[in-house]
Amino acid sequence: MTVFLNGNYVDGSAAVIPVTDRGFIFGDGVYEVFRSVDGRLFEGERHQERLEEGLAALRIAMPEAAHGGALREIAARLLEENGHSRGHATVYVQITRGAAPRAHQFPADDVRPTMFVTTSALNSLEAVRSAGAVVITQPDVRWYRCNIKTIQLLPNVLAKQAAIESGGFEALFIRNGMVTEGTHSNLFAVLEGEVRTHPDNNLILPGVTRSVVLELAAELGFPVREEAITEEEIGQVDELFLTGTTTDVLPIAQVDGRHVGTGSPGPVAGQLYEALYRRMHEGRD
Amino acid sequence: MTVFLNGNYVDGSAAVIPVTDRGFIFGDGVYEVFRSVDGRLFEGERHQERLEEGLAALRIAMPEAAHGGALREIAARLLEENGHSRGHATVYVQITRGAAPRAHQFPADDVRPTMFVTTSALNSLEAVRSAGAVVITQPDVRWYRCNIKTIQLLPNVLAKQAAIESGGFEALFIRNGMVTEGTHSNLFAVLEGEVRTHPDNNLILPGVTRSVVLELAAELGFPVREEAITEEEIGQVDELFLTGTTTDVLPIAQVDGRHVGTGSPGPVAGQLYEALYRRMHEGRD
| Residue in B112, B109, B108, B91 with CA at minimum distance from that of residue B21 | B112
Q: In the prediction, which pLDDT does B193 show? A: 95
Which is it for the CA torsion B4, B9, B12, B15, positive or negative? negative
> For A127-149, what is the mean pLDDT?
98
* B160 is a catalytic site residue: no
Closest by Cβ to B154, choosing from A17, A18, A28: A28
Question: Could you write out the DSSP letters of every residue in chain A?
Answer: -EEEETTEEEEGGG-EEETTBHHHHH--EEEEEEEEETTEEETHHHHHHHHHHHHHHHTPPPPGGGSHHHHHHHHHHHHHHTT-SSSEEEEEEEEE--B-SS-SS---TTPPPEEEEEEEEPPP-HHHHHH-EEEEEEE----S-TTS-BS--HHHHHHHHHHHHTT-SEEEEEETTEEEEESSSEEEEEETTEEEE--SSTTS---HHHHHHHHHHHHTT--EE--PPBTGGGGT-SEEEEEETTTEEEEEEEETTEE-TTSS--HHHHHHHHHHHHHHHTT--
> For A86-90, what is the mean pLDDT?
97
Q: In the prediction, which pLDDT does B285 show? A: 46
The per-residue pLDDT for range B223-267, each reduced to its tens digit, is 999 999 999 999 999 999 999 999 999 999 999 999 999 999 999
The per-residue pLDDT for range B138-188, each reduced to its tens digit, is 999 999 999 999 999 999 999 999 999 999 999 999 999 999 999 999 999
| Residue in A120, A130, A123, A45 with CA at minimum distance from that of residue A84 | A120
Q: Does B209 touch chain A (CB under 8 A)?
A: no
**Chain B residue with Cα closest to A202:** B141
Contacts of A158 in chain B (CB under 8 A): 58
| pLDDT higher than threshold 70 for residue B116 | yes
Residues of A taking part in catalysis: 149
SS3 state at B128: helix
Cα-trace Rg, chain A: 19
Q: Can you tell me the distance from the alpha carbon of A254 to that of A234, in angstroms, rounded to the nearest whole number?
A: 10
Percent of chain A predicted with pLDDT > 90: 98
Give the A window 256-275 contacts with B, CB below 8 Å: none
Q: Can you tell me the distance from the alpha carbon of B31 to that of B52, in angstroms, rounded to the nearest whole number?
A: 10
> For A55-77, what is the mean pLDDT?
97
Contacts of A92 in chain B (CB under 8 A): 102
Q: Can you tell me the distance from the alpha carbon of A216 to that of B86, in angstroms, rounded to the nearest whole number?
A: 67
Contacts of B151 in chain A (CB under 8 A): 24-27
> For A161-180, what is the mean pLDDT?
98
How confident is the prediction for chain B on average, in pLDDT?
A: 97
The per-residue pLDDT for range B193-219, each reduced to its tens digit, is 999 999 999 999 999 999 999 999 999
Q: In the prediction, which pLDDT does B139 show? A: 98
Q: Which of B31, B95, B152 is the best residue to mutate to test the A interface, defined by the most A CB atoms within 10 Å of its own CB? A: B152
| pLDDT higher than threshold 70 for residue A210 | yes
Q: Which residues of A216-232 are buried (b: 16+ CB within 10 A; e: fewer)?
A: bbeeeebebeeebbebe
Q: Which of B105, B123, B161 is the best residue to mutate to test the A interface, defined by the most A CB atoms within 10 Å of its own CB? A: B105
| Residue in B178, B223, B171, B220 with CA at minimum distance from that of residue B198 | B178
> For A213-225, what is the mean pLDDT?
98
Categorize the per-residue pLDDT at B284 as very low, low, confident or very high, splitting at 50, 70 and 90. very low
SS3 state at B23: helix
How confident is the prediction for chain A on average, in pLDDT?
A: 97
User: Other C-beta atoms within 10 Å of B240: how many?
Assistant: 29
Percent of chain B predicted with pLDDT > 70: 99
> For B3-22, what is the mean pLDDT?
98
- ipTM value of the model? 0.97
CB contact under 8 A, B3 and A19: yes
**Chain centroid to CA A165: how far?**
21
Contacts of B98 in chain A (CB under 8 A): none
Query: Cβ(B9)–Cβ(B2) under 8 Å?
Result: yes
Contacts of B143 in chain A (CB under 8 A): 141-143, 152, 154-155
**Rounded to 5 degrees, what angle do the CA atoms A93, A78, A150 make?**
5
How far apart are the CA of A158 and the nearest CA of chain B, in angstroms? 7
Percent of chain B predicted with pLDDT > 90: 98
- Cα dist from A197 to A150, A194, A217, whole Å: 22, 10, 12
How far apart are the CA of B20 and the nearest CA of chain A, in angstroms? 8
| pLDDT higher than threshold 70 for residue A285 | no
**Chain A residue with Cα closest to B175:** A144
Query: Cβ(B151)–Cβ(B94) under 8 Å?
Result: yes
How far apart are the CA of A54 and the nearest CA of chain B, in angstroms? 13
Give the B window 46-65 contacts with A, CB below 8 Å: 58
Q: In the prediction, which pLDDT does A162 show? A: 98
| Residue in B272, B145, B31 with CA at minimum distance from that of residue A19 | B31
- Cα dist from B126 to A111, A160, B41, B165, B251, whole Å: 28, 46, 21, 21, 11
Q: Which of A6, A8, A9, A24 is the best residue to mutate to test the B interface, defined by the most B CB atoms within 10 Å of its own CB? A: A24
- Write down the catalytic residue from B149, B184, B198, B210: B149
Query: Cβ(A146)–Cβ(A205) under 8 Å?
Result: yes
> For B76-95, what is the mean pLDDT?
98
SS3 state at B114: strand
> For B10-27, what is the mean pLDDT?
98
Q: In the prediction, which pLDDT does B283 show? A: 53
Q: Does A222 touch chain B (CB under 8 A)?
A: no
Partners of B117 in the β-ladder? B4, B93
How far apart are the CA of B24 and the nearest CA of chain A, in angstroms? 4
> For A65-94, what is the mean pLDDT?
97
Categorize the per-residue pLDDT at A138 as very low, low, confident or very high, splitting at 50, 70 and 90. very high
CB contact under 8 A, A27 and B143: no
Q: In the prediction, which pLDDT does A89 show? A: 98
How far apart are the CA of A28 and the nearest CA of chain B, in angstroms? 5
Q: In the prediction, which pLDDT does B282 show? A: 85
The per-residue pLDDT for range B19-46, each reduced to its tens digit, is 999 999 999 999 999 999 999 999 999 9
Residue B237 burial by CB count (10 A; 0-12/13-18/19+): exposed, middle or buried?
buried
Q: In the prediction, which pLDDT does A282 show? A: 85
Q: At what angle do helices A208-219 and A267-281 cross, to 10 degrees?
A: 110
CB contact under 8 A, A24 and B23: yes
Q: Does B5 touch chain A (CB under 8 A)?
A: yes
**Rounded to 5 degrees, what angle do the CA atoms A112, A113, A116 make?**
130
Q: In the prediction, which pLDDT does B185 show? A: 98
Q: In the prediction, which pLDDT does A128 show? A: 96
Q: Does B143 touch chain A (CB under 8 A)?
A: yes
